[in-house]
Amino acid sequence: MDAAFDLVRFAEDRMGLGFEAEQKKFATSRQTSEAHLEAWKAAVKTAVKNGCPPPVMPSEAQPPDAPVRPRIRVADATVEALGALAAALPRGLLLVRDELAGWLGALDKYGGSGSDRAFAIEMYGGRSYVVDRVKNPEPLQIRHLSVGVLGGVPLVPLVPIAAAQRRGSAPIGANDAIGTGVPVDHRTFSPRRPAGDPAAAEPLITAADWLAHYEERAAICELDGGLPRPEAEQLAQADTIAALGPQPSPADRRMP
Asked, for residue 27, whether it belongs to a domain, the answer is yes
Asked, for residue 251, whether it belongs to a domain, the answer is no
- Whether 176 has a pLDDT exceeding 80, the answer reads no
For residue 194, report the phi and psi dihedrals to the nearest 5 degrees. Answer: -60, 150
Q: For residue 168, what pLDDT band results from cuts at 50, 70 and 90?
A: low
Which residue, 127, 153, 179, sits at the end of a domain? 153
Co-location of 139 and 170 in the same domain? no
Co-location of 108 and 127 in the same domain? yes
**Number of domains present in the structure of the chain:** 3
Looking at residues 174-192, what average pLDDT do you find?
45
Which residue, 109, 135, 153, sits at the end of a domain? 153
Asked, for residue 121, whether it belongs to a domain, the answer is yes
Co-location of 82 and 50 in the same domain? no
pLDDT, residue 63, reads: 92
- Whether 152 has a pLDDT exceeding 80, the answer reads no
115 near 141, Cβ under 8 Å?
Answer: no
- Give which of 103, 110, 66, 100 is closest to 85, Cα–Cα: 66
Asked, for residue 5, whether it belongs to a domain, the answer is no
pLDDT, residue 256, reads: 39
- Whether 192 has a pLDDT exceeding 80, the answer reads no
Co-location of 24 and 96 in the same domain? no
pLDDT, residue 44, reads: 95
**The residue type at 232:** A
Co-location of 100 and 132 in the same domain? yes
Helices within the chain (DSSP H only): 2-15, 19-49, 79-88, 100-106, 115-122, 155-167, 174-178, 207-219, 229-244
Q: For residue 160, what pLDDT band results from cuts at 50, 70 and 90?
A: low
pLDDT, residue 184, reads: 42
Which residue, 47, 65, 83, sits at the end of a domain? 65
Co-location of 78 and 146 in the same domain? yes
Q: What is the pTM of this model?
A: 0.54
Asked, for residue 237, whether it belongs to a domain, the answer is yes
pLDDT, residue 82, reads: 87
**What is the distance between the alpha carbons of residues 146 and 125, in angstroms, rounded to a whole number?**
6
For residues 188 and 100, which has the higher predicted lDDT (pLDDT)? Answer: 100
Co-location of 86 and 145 in the same domain? yes
For residues 186 and 212, which has the higher predicted lDDT (pLDDT)? Answer: 212
Least confident of 66-80, 107-121, 183-197: 183-197
User: The domain containing residue 215 runs over which residues?
Assistant: 155-244
Co-location of 128 and 189 in the same domain? no
Asked, for residue 9, whether it belongs to a domain, the answer is no
**What is the distance between the alpha carbons of residues 58 and 32, in angstroms, rounded to a whole number?**
12
- pLDDT tens for 56-101 read 999 999 999 899 888 888 888 888 888 889 988 888 898 888 877 7
> Percentage of the chain with pLDDT > 90?
18
Asked, for residue 141, whether it belongs to a domain, the answer is yes
- pLDDT tens for 34-58 read 999 999 999 999 999 999 999 999 9
Asked, for residue 222, whether it belongs to a domain, the answer is yes
Co-location of 53 and 134 in the same domain? no
Rg (CA), the chain: 28
